[in-house]
Structure 1
């Protein structure tokens, strides 16, 4: 069947109906791709290196002929794999720039009855879009607070109530501390993180307030886009406060059941900052199952770090809110009320809400 070239605008509508196929090499795909794509390389990493070297040394014709020589014996395997993955034989196809690799794969699959929608400009066009999308100006409300104030839980509940929420830690597969990777899937690359972020932002109204958790510049190995991080520092921040016992109980709910060896490894990563004695005490408490003790021990460090980070936020845009003793529903009602009282681009008055 004949292929159909599609623009990025046409792609957005078609992607809900048809699966995506990436024709690039396995390492290119691992580095970043359009979310939910499958990968069938028309040239694998080793073959791509051979063809690329030949292109530089002898030109396009020699490289093209070599490419067909390398991949030709695998044509039937590629067709079989695609038929197994996509029995309906309708796909959206892309390579790096919508060039030879996707053209060849489109021809190859068309020969066995596939209907192919090939993305004009390829992944590069998509990536240009996501790069720009995550750097747009937005009306942020930053949810801050010391470790254990249940910021992530509150963001999840706000989303359930219909609020616009961007969960950076969820996208990064990391909770943003030395303990943040425990129990989480591997982190994406920075580029893939931005792709996933853009996919979520695309469905949100940029004119409406967007809740986001206060983060440092890095979440594990993920580095936030400069523009987004600058907006976070300049946007209104709600500084949540809760009693120590509530914070310890919340942290224990999240971490107490995790493997002791992984908790100890995280403590050891903080040894230089905690000091030898505090480190030894925390490890002993983890080993004995005294979770309130080791959590309280580490909060001394994390609370100081939070106060230091809070000083970077723009003066006059921090509003401290005491949520101690309130139910989750009461906390959510108060947060939504604060949002409705102020424009997300206007500074909050610096005072405590009791």
Structure 2
């Protein structure tokens, strides 16, 4: 067999049929990687540093010799790890490093020598990143599900998806629900780069010619940002504004967040005290400590309503379609939206 080099378009088209091996160092992989790629590092972080320093300060040949010293003792273990992962031994394997150079070339040679069908990604992870950034430039037709805090927008998105609508849950990708309380009981957030990789994959899976539903977000979701090219499109997209009474939204928030650890809720309130104000912060925490979650969340909800309205008015926006909802009921509200928007 022979190693076959493939470009990014062929890689994207065929990667679900391949075991994708990322042979960059553990630190590079941890920072960001191609979704569903398996980490098989040729060098540790320290070894990569030593090889890189030799390459820059001495010569390419010296760096290769040092690299071979590291690579040689690992060869058998790497083959066995891949063999165990593949099981049948006949699955196609795609190897990549940062630029599609010596690291992926070395591992591809080893696996090809052993008998695997091996592909090497031309341009490596860097080519993939260029592809990712290109996904944010496409002419998407977004429809933005909007509404004040506590309107149940995220469950509504998933309900609309069940009805056949295209949807991307930005908060699920970011591991954050957007508000001060949004990071509690969530997994660690991905790096900005990994968030973009995940988002690009989701966008690529959608039909560009059909509408895609997104939740109305600030550009910053926790510690990650919606890519600017996409954010600019979102700001001028049609807005479906769900209007739910204050008391219904408050009831929903108490049910949704009332089970969270009280100390973490308290910490979240303290993080926004500059904007919330000293008195309101003190009152909210007092209500929380007394177990009066409705009064505590009522203060927070009035605060978020003020900021949500301010943010909504400051945005460039397309058409706003208002949908009246009596309660936070995803089935009923999804039906209202479908009848209003898609069954005109």
TM-score by length of 2: 0.94
Paired residue secondary structure (2:151): coil
1:123 Cα deviation from its structure 2 partner: 1.4
- Alignment-derived partner of residue 253 in structure 1: 255
Deviations 1:197-241 (A, max 9, x none): 111111211111111111111001111111111111111112211
Number of residue pairs matched by the alignment? 342
Deviations 1:41-72 (A, max 9, x none): 11221111111111111221111111112332
TM-score by length of 1: 0.91
- Alignment-derived partner of residue 167 in structure 2: 165
Paired residue secondary structure (1:247): helix
- Alignment-derived partner of residue 83 in structure 1: 83
Q: Is the 8 A contact 1:241 1:320 kept in 2?
A: yes
Deviations 1:57-104 (A, max 9, x none): 122111111111233222223223323333233322111121110111
Which segments of 5 or more consecutive residues in structure 1 lack a partner in the other structure? 343-354
1:341 Cα deviation from its structure 2 partner: 6.5
1:327 Cα deviation from its structure 2 partner: 4.7
Q: Distance in 2 between matches of 1:325 and 1:152?
A: 15
1:282 to 269, 284, 293: 284
2:309 to 302, 307, 322: 307
Q: How do 1:168-207 residues align onto structure 2 when only pairs under 5 Å count? A: 168-207=170-209
Q: Is the 8 A contact 2:22 2:41 kept in 1?
A: yes
Structure 1 pair 69–316 and aligned structure 2 pair: CA distance change class (3 A): closer
Q: Distance in 2 between matches of 1:328 and 1:48?
A: 51
Deviates more, 1:82-91 or 1:152-161: 82-91
1:316 Cα deviation from its structure 2 partner: 6.1
Structure 1 pair 71–254 and aligned structure 2 pair: CA distance change class (3 A): same
Cα RMSD (Å): 1.8
- Alignment-derived partner of residue 227 in structure 1: 229
Deviations 1:103-143 (A, max 9, x none): 11112223333222222222122211111102322111111
Structure 1 pair 184–161 and aligned structure 2 pair: CA distance change class (3 A): same
- Alignment-derived partner of residue 237 in structure 1: 239
- Alignment-derived partner of residue 69 in structure 2: 69
Q: Distance in 2 between matches of 1:277 and 1:49?
A: 53
- Alignment-derived partner of residue 47 in structure 1: 47
1:244 Cα deviation from its structure 2 partner: 1.3
Q: Distance in 1 between matches of 2:9 and 2:150?
A: 43
1:325 Cα deviation from its structure 2 partner: 4.3
- Alignment-derived partner of residue 32 in structure 2: 32
Deviations 1:126-177 (A, max 9, x none): 2111111023221111111110011111101011111011111111110011
Q: Distance in 1 between matches of 2:317 and 2:261?
A: 41
Structure 1 pair 316–63 and aligned structure 2 pair: CA distance change class (3 A): closer
Q: Is the 8 A contact 2:244 2:328 kept in 1?
A: no
